[in-house]
Structure 1
């Protein structure tokens, strides 16, 4: 049996670079992986001159961004092209983190034949609601997004995108972002992570038509890796997404694993995550052989 390719899909404001430490660990376990950039991410992102230090905030908040107008369907098409290339060389496992789960879910609806297994790591797998609408649900009530709101820069309506100033020095904002995303790592590790983010993200997180559909998404075997210390997508919301997916296709439920990690701590310190992903890859390979 040909070894599967594990395609890694990043979350909001992140890039394929986020997976570099994890990919090194996966390679040590003999796992073949490919991290991809969604449209307008990575080297296709916009980094306005005003984002550099000393910052020119007026220029930063007004500069056009390449991600303007990028839709979830655009991202699905790009992800489908990557999956098709990998499929030419064997089975495909797609792992999505955070907002990347919306793209994976939509791809599974549109092109289920490209995916042999899905892995959601504290990722949006919308069933009952469009992905963004879960933010208004009771499970998200205690999420403190104040620092993220303070980091927002410019008018999303005018820019046609979300823009955040992750390079600011406001201590309160930085402490709030660390608490939200990776309270379980050191301050230097947090700042390195923060500086790996890009300032722009697209506005389209998907609509009702992008929710999981039993007749296609529901036919693909899937795993949900819960992040037990996640304050961005709390464990109660992760468990709700699992329950909704299982109710949609009770004959094909999630396989569930748990990591003791914050939202991005598993990417910063990836040793245990790599062990579990290597196990998942081996299981999938055995089932397909």
Structure 2
């Protein structure tokens, strides 16, 4: 009789352990299903602006990858708002699943002009960036409030079609573009900067994507390219879901303060 009771108790205990293990496995599978590899977590698509290149997003990409995101820095041609937006649309067509678009500087004008009909773009993040309304240009917005000193630092290079490629003079690059980035690093940035065509900065924007897609804005507090007041005006007008001001940050805020940029991107990604 005693042996029978012990056997019953052991059987009951084993059954309980199996039940607990099964529940644990069920809980684990539920967590995995919520974040499946290659599932619905959005791809973060980063668009650089003038006087920069895709490498300017490297500190941001590194941190996003550590958080498990796929991040893509696209090559922005910097030739014209419409043609640059078409190039971005073509790149987006090759990405499966939802997308969060992030634009810096002139790159903000480019993400503003993506085809808003695409259901894959779930959020727009503007990082010290232009967010023009229809008919506005980047140059017009930069001059809408006092504080931009970019014009005095530019070195034009004439192109065959009569337009100009614009560079920031290397000797003035750090103070104008990246004052809070180490001098050694800004020397490299100045040497690898990509020019923007002057006609691109003066090209009128089309129907804004931010009118139909939720937006988030990070403002650079010590920006000498786009005055802080202009950045705030654009954020308010676009109905920004969250606006973060990084005090003392230069225009190169994605390089100097990548943690703040990543935090906002992750927030926009939901």
CA 1:185–1:207: 2 relative to 1, 3 Å: closer
CA shift at 1:236, angstroms? 0.8
User: With CA pairs under 8 Å and 6+ residues apart, which has the higher RCO, 1 or 2?
Assistant: 1
SS at match of 1:6: strand
Deviations 1:205-255 (A, max 9, x none): 36445252xxx6412111111122222212111111122223xxxxxx432
Deviations 1:37-57 (A, max 9, x none): 0237xxxxxxxxxxxxxxxxx
CA 1:265–1:103: 2 relative to 1, 3 Å: closer
Tell me, yes or no, if the aligned pair for 2:128 and 2:253 is still in contact at 8 Å: no
CA 1:144–1:98: 2 relative to 1, 3 Å: same
Distance of 2:242 and 2:257 partners within structure 1: 23
Distance of 2:222 and 2:68 partners within structure 1: 28
Task: Please state if 1:94 is matched with 2:104.
Answer: no
**Unmatched segments (≥5 aa) in structure 1:** 41-69, 168-173, 247-252, 284-289
- The alignment yields a C-alpha RMSD, in angstroms, of 2.6
TM-score by length of 1: 0.70
Matches within 5 A, 1:51-66: none
Task: Please state if 1:259 is matched with 2:265.
Answer: no
Matches within 5 A, 1:165-184: 166-167=169-170, 174=171, 176-184=172-180
Matches within 5 A, 1:185-264: 185-199=181-195, 201=197, 203-205=199-201, 207-208=203-204, 210-212=206-208, 217-246=210-239, 253-260=240-247, 261-264=249-252
Matches within 5 A, 1:106-117: 106-109=113-116, 111-117=117-123
SS at match of 2:52: coil
From 160, 163, 167, the equivalent of 1:164 is 167
CA shift at 1:125, angstroms? 0.5
**Unmatched segments (≥5 aa) in structure 2:** 1-38
Where do 4+ consecutive residues of structure 1 move more than 6 Å? none
In the alignment, which residue of structure 1 is the partner of 2:67?
29
Max Rg structure: 2
Task: Please state if 1:83 is matched with 2:88.
Answer: no
Tell me, yes or no, if the aligned pair for 1:106 and 1:211 is still in contact at 8 Å: yes
Q: Which moved more, 1:18-27 or 1:191-200?
A: 191-200
SS at match of 1:237: helix
SS at match of 1:203: helix
CA 1:121–1:71: 2 relative to 1, 3 Å: same
SS at match of 1:210: coil
Task: Please state if 1:270 is matched with 2:258.
Answer: yes
TM-score by length of 2: 0.75
In the alignment, which residue of structure 2 is the partner of 1:127?
133
Distance of 2:200 and 2:55 partners within structure 1: 22
SS at match of 1:153: strand
In the alignment, which residue of structure 2 is the partner of 1:142?
147
Between the two proteins, the alignment pairs up a number of residues equal to 230
CA shift at 1:108, angstroms? 4.5
Tell me, yes or no, if the aligned pair for 1:117 and 1:222 is still in contact at 8 Å: yes
